[in-house]
Amino acid sequence: MSDPIPGAKDHIDAARKLAATIDDIPSDTALLPINKVGVIGAGTMGGGITMNFLTAGIPVTIVEMTQEALDRGVATMRKNYENTVKRGKMDAALAEAAMGRLTPSLDFGALADADLVIEAVYESMDVKKEVFGKLDGIVKQGAILASNTSYLDVNEIAASTKRPEAVLGMHFFSPANVMKLLEVVRGSATAKDVLGTVMALSVKIGKVPVVSGVCHGFIGNRMLGKRQEQANALIMEGADFAEVDNALLEFGFPMGPFQMADLAGLDIGWHRDPNRIETLREALCALGRWGQKTGKGFYDYDANRQRTPSDVTRGLIAEWAAKAGKPQRSIDAQEILERLLYPMISEGALILEEGISQRASDIDTVWLNGYGWPAWTGGPMYWASHIGLATVVAGLEKHGLPVAPLLAKKAAAGEAFD
């Protein structure tokens, strides 16, 4: 980690304030009253989302499919509040009052009078469209319908209702009761007062909201995908996965891509058939190496979750590289860093070109508040401008990676991202 880039702190503060501004929505736009919220799904995400509103004094009705899932979700929320009180972060009476604002239910009809309903169900387009179609026939007119999707097309979800103007994405980050970032995804039909209301409400519940347009993965996960592609390619070419993680740790990230995969769970999205092995990740899952939850993933974990790079995983990677005919070579930390970070800058430039993000500083705000990008840099786009966009372009070209037209244009003109 280096010394802070000059002006980084001021840039971060200004970017955060600017992110709350939506260019085409007048500041005097009348906002919708949000007096009651509905949440569908009492799992980790749904429970975390619910706690934000309860803590802010807004009653929530949470709906689940089974009594067992509902009870488990409510118990987890209560335990989270109890732990917050134990740590001295909240008064016991306030925690009890927050839980008192919660109405658990198994009936979708209980959402009829909610002013905002957020679904936090399984990340499947078919499931989400079914939920929104059902909500459309139950929830009162004038209410906002939001999806906590991480990747899916909000316009397609909105089209399953007769009120696409009332639909948007609210992409919370896990754990949702802790993480500050909230990507507010603006659909092509989302009404201005709906978007303005959710942005203002996001601040009220303690979040840092950033508007994103509709695309796969929005701002944050779309850029993360480019980093992960290179991380996976690097370990097939001879880089050790621990070295890849260490390159980001030394840059100032709290964790690297393979540590992050172990923490999230390698089994997320796995088809659960140990005999169908088509990727390295599936091979790890078939061996029960699901990450921290099983004590072994890319790393082996002790009782205190301290990690040691796994020789089993190294052996598997070598097998997969040989199978793919990938020649192995030594890869230094500088190349690892360039290949992980420079493609993210290029993708950020595409996001700007396409109008997915209003401004470069919004991208910085997303990555600083949701993904642990180190604050000393001011964020990815600010950092890229500081080291020189021509440096980024030269690095991408050296590694045979694509360069976004906007990035190439700004680099050629000696410009920075605004």
Specify the pLDDT at position 229: 98
Structure tokens belonging to residue 93: 């009476």
Confidence grade of residue 418 (pLDDT, cut at 50, 70, 90): confident
Task: Report d(CA 197, CA 244) in Å as an integer.
Answer: 42
Per-residue pLDDT, averaged over 139-144, amounts to: 98
Least confident of 191-200, 268-277, 297-306: 268-277
Task: Report d(CA 4, CA 249) in Å as an integer.
Answer: 16
Residues found in the chain: 418
pTM of the model: 0.96
Specify the pLDDT at position 199: 97
Task: Report d(CA 53, CA 252) in Å as an integer.
Answer: 32
Specify the pLDDT at position 27: 87
10-56: pLDDT as tens digits? 999 999 999 999 999 998 999 999 999 999 999 999 999 999 999 99
Specify the pLDDT at position 325: 96
pLDDT, averaged across the chain: 97
> Are 158 and 193 contacting, i.e. CB atoms less than 8 angstroms apart?
no
Largest CA distance in the chain: 63
Phi and psi based region of residue 21 (left: phi greater than 0; alpha: psi -120 to 50; beta: remaining):
beta
Q: Exposed (0-12), middle (13-18) or buried (19+): which is 109, by Cβ within 10 Å?
A: exposed
Specify the pLDDT at position 1: 58
For the sheet containing 116-119, what is the strand order?
102-105, 60-63, 37-40, 116-119, 144-147, 167-172, 181-185, 208-212
Confidence grade of residue 242 (pLDDT, cut at 50, 70, 90): very high
Per-residue pLDDT, averaged over 308-328, amounts to: 97
> Are 285 and 267 contacting, i.e. CB atoms less than 8 angstroms apart?
yes
Q: How far is CA 411 from CA 122, 388, 394, 407, in A?
A: 42, 8, 10, 6
Q: How far is CA 212 from CA 40, 89, 264, in A?
A: 23, 32, 24
Specify the pLDDT at position 269: 86
Specify the pLDDT at position 240: 98
Task: Report d(CA 263, CA 309) in Å as an integer.
Answer: 14
Per-residue pLDDT, averaged over 95-122, amounts to: 97
Q: What element of type H or E holds 147?
A: strand 144-147
Per-residue pLDDT, averaged over 321-336, amounts to: 97
Residue 241 has pLDDT above 90, yes or no: yes
> Which residue did the predictor score with more confidence, 365 or 269?
365
Per-residue pLDDT, averaged over 243-249, amounts to: 98
Specify the pLDDT at position 107: 97
The closest alpha carbon to 190, from 25, 60, 16, 19, belongs to 25
Specify the pLDDT at position 69: 97
The closest alpha carbon to 212, from 255, 176, 169, 157, belongs to 169
Task: Report d(CA 149, CA 185) in Å as an integer.
Answer: 9
> Of the listed 171, 216, 271, 386, which one is catalytic?
171
Q: How many CB atoms lie within 10 A of CB 273?
A: 10
Q: How far is CA 270 from CA 21, 276, 279, in A?
A: 39, 10, 11
Q: How many CB atoms lie within 10 A of CB 327?
A: 9
Q: Identify whether 386 is a catalytic site residue.
A: no
Residue 3 has pLDDT above 80, yes or no: yes
Long-range CB contacts (within 8 A, 24+) of 237-241: 237/321, 237/326, 237/327, 237/328, 237/329, 237/331, 238/321, 238/327, 238/328, 238/329, 238/330, 238/331, 239/331, 239/336, 240/309, 240/314, 241/298, 241/309, 241/313, 241/314, 241/317
Residue 203 has pLDDT above 90, yes or no: yes
Specify the pLDDT at position 399: 98
Per-residue pLDDT, averaged over 314-337, amounts to: 97
